[in-house]
Amino acid sequence: MLSLELEAPTGVELLPVSPDVVRLREQRPDGAPLGELEVSTFKAQLLIDRDGILEDKARALAEAAAPDAKVDSCNPVTLGGVSGYRVEAYIRARERPALPYIHVLVLAPDDVRFNGGLVITARSARLEWAAGDAIIASLKLLGRRGAANE
């Protein structure tokens, strides 16, 4: 069983979507969105071609995030006990959406006893979103015996 713990900075609204999905949102005082981050878990057998599975999933989710999204980069990432891929995409459309920058992280614990991982999809008004970065940095994956990434 894989579960997680994260911290949201002041001003970020937490919106539970389901037992497996949580959404966090930050808005400017005028109500315009600054960023939105969604975290979900997935089950998969990751023993064979772990990196390939995680990279393929990250690319597919980034491309599916919006019809006009174009993947700019796909890079391996490590966050203390978890690793995977981060894909960055940008929506290139005639009418720019409020949150055109898309970042998808697909991560799995380094401990192979976990049959699954975590998907983080962040959308932001600007390339850099401080609250989103802080949320990702606070992430702790929890297993039966406590934190998996400490």
pLDDT at residue number 149: 46
Question: In which band, very low, low, confident or very high, does the pLDDT at 37 lie, cut at 50, 70 and 90?
Answer: very high
Which position has the higher pLDDT, 108 or 30? Answer: 30
Q: Which domain holds residue 124?
A: 3-147
- pLDDT for 90: 92
**What is the Cβ-side half-sphere exposure of residue 12, based on CA atoms within 13 angstroms?**
23
Q: Quick one: what percent of the chain has pLDDT higher than 90?
A: 41
What are the tens digits of pLDDT across the range 69-79?
888 899 999 88
Domain count, the chain: 1
SS3 string, 68-135, reads CEEEEEEEEEECCCEEEEEEEEEECCCCCCCCCEEEEEEEEECCCCCCEEEEEEEEECCCCCHHHHHH
Q: What is the pLDDT averaged over residues 37-54?
A: 78
Question: Which residue reads 């850099």 in tokens?
Answer: 128
pLDDT at 94: 82
State yes or no: pLDDT of 137 exceeds 60. yes
Q: Which of 52-66, 75-89, 111-125, 132-146 has the lowest mean pLDDT?
A: 132-146
CATH of the domain at 86: 3.40.1000.10
Average pLDDT over residues 42-57: 76
Judge whether residue 150 has pLDDT over 90: no
